[in-house]
Amino acid sequence: MIKKRKGFPKASILKEVCSQYDYIDSYRAEFTDNEQPIDLSEVSRLFIQHSSPQWVEVLFAIRDRVVKIVGLKTSKDIPSGQQSDFKNCKPGDRLGMFKIFDKTDDELVLGEDDKHLDFRVSLFLRPLENSARKELAITTVVKYNNWFGKLYFLPVQFFHGIIVSSSLKGIVKSLENRAIPTNAGRRV
C-alpha cells in the first residue's frame, strides 16, 4: 500500500536543506525482503529502468513541446548517462536523465536544475525494526527560481503524485517478486 506523507524520512539527506524548498512530498511503501538482499542499488536500477505508462509518455511529449517555446530544458536537452554500476555511482554522475547530487548506503538523491525550478528526488531505503520488511520512500522537493517555476509546477503537481505513486507501486512489486525464493519449501 502506498502512503503519502508530509516531510522527509527522519534520516534523509534532504532534511538538512528542508527550508530551502517550496514543495515537498513523500510517498512510501513497505515490502517483504526475507533474505535481506535488496539494497539501494537494486532500487535505483528499478527506478531508472521503470517503464512509464503510455499516458505518461504522452504528457512528457506535450510538456516538451510547451517548455521548448519558453526556453526551458526538454527531455532531449538533458544528457542521458545510463550508469550501469549503481553501487559505484557518485555525485556528479548521471543515472538516466537525472544527475546524482548525493548518495549514502541508504539514500540516493537525484535531480536537475533549470532556470525556472530545481528539483531533487530522494530514494530512501531502510529496514524496519525486528522484521524482514523494508520501507522505500520516494521524496520530491522543488525550489521555484522565479514566478514561472511556480506557475509551471501547478499543473505538474497534480500529475506528479499519480506518476510517483505508480512508479513506487511498480518498483515494490518488482522487489517483492524478486524477494520470493523459488521452490521454497517444495519437495520435488
Instruction: Kindly list the domain boundaries of the chain, sorted by start residue.
Output: 3-179
Angstrom CA distances, 38 to 53, 67, 106, 110, stand at 25, 38, 11, 20
**Distance between CA 100 and CA 23 in Å, rounded?**
20
Burial (CB < 10 A; 0-12, 13-18, 19+), residue 160, is middle
Side chain identity at residue 92, one-letter code: G
pLDDT digits (tens, 9 = 90+) for 36-78: 788 888 888 888 876 666 766 676 676 667 666 666 666 665 5
Q: Which three cell numbers stand for residue 186?
A: 517444495
Residue 161, pLDDT score: 87
pTM: 0.82
Round to whole Å and give the CA distance between 143 and 156. 14
- Which of the residues in the chain have pLDDT under 70? 17-18, 50-53, 55-57, 59-60, 62-64, 66-85, 179-188
List the CATH code of the domain at 3-179. 3.30.530
How far is 113 from 109, CA to CA, in rounded Å?
A: 13
- Note whether 97 and 75 are within 8 A (CB): yes
Contacts of 30 (CB under 8 A, 6+ apart): 1, 128, 133, 134, 135, 136
Distances from the Cα of 120 to the Cα of 14, 16, 134, angstroms: 9, 13, 22
With the C-alpha atoms ordered 52, 58, 60, 61, is the resulting torsion angle positive or negative?
positive
